[in-house]
Structure 1
Amino acid sequence: MRDMGGDQVEEAVAGALALLRAATGQDWGVKAGRLDWSCRRTAEHIASDLIAYAGQLAGRPTDRYVPFDITFAECESVEDVLDVVEATGALFSAAIRATPREVRAFHPYPFRSANREGFAAMGVTEVLAHTHDIAEGLGIAYEPPAALCEDVLTRIFPHVRPGPDHWRTLLWATGRGELPGRAPLPTWRWSNNLVIPAERLTLQGVTPAAAADLCAGGTGGFEWIEGGPFESTRDAAGAIVKAYEAGVHRPEWGMFVLVRREDGRAVGGMGFHGVPDEEGRAEVGYDLAEFARGNGYATEALRALSAWALAREDVTSLFATVDRTNSLSQGVISRTGFTLVSEDEEQYAYELRG
């Protein structure tokens, strides 16, 4: 799986600067595309975002943005502003590379945090989208590499159905363009992965990029213990990919990888079979790598996932099926508080109500 990190930020910034520095002789006081900002103000915004994200990864606050800002009072020309964009891009890339994988910092939407991959994807999106705005205002052509756009879409736009053209899809997803068969977006948001804490584990939401890698035989970007991931984890990842490609994937109702706090290693997978039905019932499933079994991980994770789900207004109950021969899984489901509601020749069916 292609990483999302400092290399992508540098690629995005370098491509933007190559285009914009060739147009510094134009009037940057004009509006930037559909924005109310001027082209110069939009370039300043790019730099402000890059340094703000670097500050989040460096300071690692959990409840707010680090309270600092940069000023452009000393920038006498557009060239000066672009120099600041270059410098803040380098600082942001360095911060990403210095941040361990498990670190998360505050970002308000939608789940109150992001990891280094999420911040990298947000930074690249800011660069690509606002370079487009400036280019549109100046009347020059701009199209970033398709791979960069796909990197962003499969990390922080899991709810957006892929299109035949990654750049046009990203423009539509950020309210900047049209796609055949899709209504324009009056408002838009990206979506970092959800992480649910447990005592010894974190349940880390799997992005479409990670799911595609898992179902293709890769690690999904996780460091697995021996014997992981289990085959049913790869099967569940394949279901995530199909839902994403169909445009019906909702990240909070997808798949989570169970990661140990003590060493950052993945031990299994857990998640939902889709969004809650009309009655508010959601189905759950899980597995562990063989060498992780017998430690109470599945019970701990299922309790955390169940508590998160049943605290929502749109969920009334959780449902799970377990093979009659799988006594270990029956123990997990019972210890979590599920009760047996039906059975057939092959399976038991359990329910947990809120």
Structure 2
Amino acid sequence: MRSMGGEQLEEAVAHAVALLRTATDRDWESARAGRLEWSCRYTAEHVAGVLLAYAGQLTGRATEAWVPFEITLDEGTGNEDVLQVVETTGALLAATVRTTPREVRAFHPYPFRSADREGFAAMGVAEVFLHTHDIAGILGLAYEPPVELCADVLARIFPHVRPDTDPWRTLLWATGRGDLPGRAPVTEWRWRNNLVIPAERLTLQGVTPAAATDLAAGGDGGFEWVGGEPFQGTRDAAGMLLKAYEAGAHRPEWGVFVLVRRGDGRAVGGMGFHGAPDQDGRVEIGYDLTEAARGNGYATEALRALSAWALAREEVTSVCATTDPENTASQAVIVRAGFTRVAGDSSQAGEAGKDGEDGEDGEDAGQFAYELRG
């Protein structure tokens, strides 16, 4: 899987600073940066401050709020010196991302109050790209960041934004800095780090479009899997997520989650929703486990956690699941998680939990329908 880490941060910073260095002899104080109310000088200082803040969050393992410090430049610092500070703070964040374990998450407010190392790297790259665009525009400089890196940013922290043939223009549109044909102007925006739902022995980690692309293509999605690779159902679910993303219909919180053991950080299965809640507030869950992880109660634990999270949402009235009549292991999982078998045909909820603790994968729509209400 193509990573988002220190190398990408360094690439973004080097590309931006190389351009801005061609204009350090210009007036950065009186010129307003793009649509911002900030001067070009203050905008560059802001980039340096954000990169340092992100490094501080990850290094300090802050979980509840921002670490209470900020960067202050010496009086008399010139434009060239400001760019050196940007390079330095970019290097600090890159080094921090490289040395931070994958499972570490630190506080960031949008939208689920945490981000991992890839999330902070993607946000750092986005800050560099967007604010270099702001500065370059007012200084009359032409700026085009690396296209592939723009696509990587979109696929990690803009999962709700339908991709386009021009990732840089899409990123500008998504942040209120430009127009795209056929799309309404953006006046308010936030990037979206992936949702992580805690369980007793597991964390349910939201799959980004970037991870889904790799999983659907036969990769590991950035996870270390018990047994070496995910079950096919997880790959199929990733493919469905990717189709929704490409259509602009993906709602990240109602997507796919990888079940990761707290003890060793290894993935044991996948679980997720078949879409957002319907007009009656019903949402359907499906799941599977790698064969090597079955028989340990992981599916039951994860199903309880994800169902509880869903039922805590105002728009949800019930969670549904179905399984083949022959898949007794999956039926046992669903019942242990608190679901009740409901009367009627299986059209009440489509194909469901594909695998229990030791069950066989179901190919066709299940015949037994279950429901859990809050």
Question: What is the TM-score when the length of structure 2 is the normalising length?
Answer: 0.93
> Bigger shift: 26-35 or 42-51?
26-35
Code of the residue aligned with 2:75 in structure 1: it is E
Are 1:228 and 1:267, in contact at CA under 8 Å, matched by a contact in 2? no
Code of the residue aligned with 1:62 in structure 2: it is T
> Which position in structure 1 is the counterpart of 2:370?
350
Are 2:5 and 2:94, in contact at CA under 8 Å, matched by a contact in 1? yes
Quote the Cα distance in structure 1 between the aligned partners of 2:320 and 2:366.
16
Are 1:276 and 1:315, in contact at CA under 8 Å, matched by a contact in 2? yes
Residue 144 of structure 1 and its aligned partner are, at CA, apart by 0.3
> How much is the aligned-residue C-alpha RMSD, in angstroms?
1.0
Which deviations, in whole Å up to 9, do the C-alpha atoms of 1:29-55 show, x marking residues without a partner?
Answer: 201011110000000000000000000
Code of the residue aligned with 2:10 in structure 1: it is E
Equivalent residues, number? 354
> Bigger shift: 48-57 or 70-79?
70-79
Residue 343 of structure 1 and its aligned partner are, at CA, apart by 4.3
Residue 294 of structure 1 and its aligned partner are, at CA, apart by 0.6
Are 2:195 and 2:206, in contact at CA under 8 Å, matched by a contact in 1? yes
Quote the Cα distance in structure 2 between the aligned partners of 1:109 and 1:79.
32
> Which position in structure 2 is the counterpart of 1:28?
28
SS across alignment from 1:307: helix
Question: Does 1:202 find its partner at 2:203?
Answer: yes
Correspondence 1:189-268 to 2 at 5 A: 189-226=190-227, 228-268=229-269
Quote the Cα distance in structure 2 between the aligned partners of 1:120 and 1:219.
20
Residue 228 of structure 1 and its aligned partner are, at CA, apart by 3.0
Residue 26 of structure 1 and its aligned partner are, at CA, apart by 1.4
SS across alignment from 2:66: coil
Which deviations, in whole Å up to 9, do the C-alpha atoms of 1:179-209 show, x marking residues without a partner?
Answer: 0000110011100000000000000000000
> Which position in structure 2 is the counterpart of 1:12?
12
Are 1:228 and 1:290, in contact at CA under 8 Å, matched by a contact in 2? no
> Which position in structure 2 is the counterpart of 1:127?
128
Long gaps (5+) in structure 1: none
Are 1:339 and 1:351, in contact at CA under 8 Å, matched by a contact in 2? yes
Question: Does 1:185 find its partner at 2:201?
Answer: no
Correspondence 1:269-280 to 2 at 5 A: 269-280=270-281
Question: Does 1:74 find its partner at 2:85?
Answer: no
> Bigger shift: 225-234 or 43-52?
225-234
Quote the Cα distance in structure 2 between the aligned partners of 1:122 and 1:228.
29
Quote the Cα distance in structure 1 between the aligned partners of 2:17 and 2:327.
58
SS across alignment from 2:272: strand
Residue 72 of structure 1 and its aligned partner are, at CA, apart by 1.6
Quote the Cα distance in structure 1 between the aligned partners of 2:309 and 2:197.
8
Quote the Cα distance in structure 2 between the aligned partners of 1:346 and 1:149.
41
Long gaps (5+) in structure 2: 347-364
Are 1:75 and 1:81, in contact at CA under 8 Å, matched by a contact in 2? no
Quote the Cα distance in structure 2 between the aligned partners of 1:64 and 1:116.
17
Residue 227 of structure 1 and its aligned partner are, at CA, apart by 5.2
> Which position in structure 1 is the counterpart of 2:101?
100
Residue 346 of structure 1 and its aligned partner are, at CA, apart by 5.2
Code of the residue aligned with 1:59 in structure 2: it is G
> Which position in structure 2 is the counterpart of 1:3?
3
Which deviations, in whole Å up to 9, do the C-alpha atoms of 1:236-265 show, x marking residues without a partner?
Answer: 000000000000101100000000011100
Question: Does 1:288 find its partner at 2:282?
Answer: no
Q: Percent identity?
A: 73
Question: What is the TM-score when the length of structure 1 is the normalising length?
Answer: 0.98
Quote the Cα distance in structure 2 between the aligned partners of 1:343 and 1:291.
33
Relative to structure 1, the CA distance from residue 292 to residue 276 in structure 2 (aligned partners, 3 Å threshold; closer, same or farther) is same
Code of the residue aligned with 2:285 in structure 1: it is V
Quote the Cα distance in structure 2 between the aligned partners of 1:343 and 1:323.
12
> Which position in structure 2 is the counterpart of 1:163?
164
Are 1:243 and 1:249, in contact at CA under 8 Å, matched by a contact in 2? yes
> Bigger shift: 259-268 or 73-82?
73-82
Question: Does 1:307 find its partner at 2:327?
Answer: no
Are 1:225 and 1:267, in contact at CA under 8 Å, matched by a contact in 2? yes
SS across alignment from 2:142: coil
Residue 74 of structure 1 and its aligned partner are, at CA, apart by 3.2
Are 2:322 and 2:366, in contact at CA under 8 Å, matched by a contact in 1? no
Which deviations, in whole Å up to 9, do the C-alpha atoms of 1:305-345 show, x marking residues without a partner?
Answer: 01111011111100111111111100000011111113469
Quote the Cα distance in structure 2 between the aligned partners of 1:87 and 1:73.
15
Question: Does 1:153 find its partner at 2:154?
Answer: yes
SS across alignment from 1:282: strand
> Which position in structure 1 is the counterpart of 2:90?
89
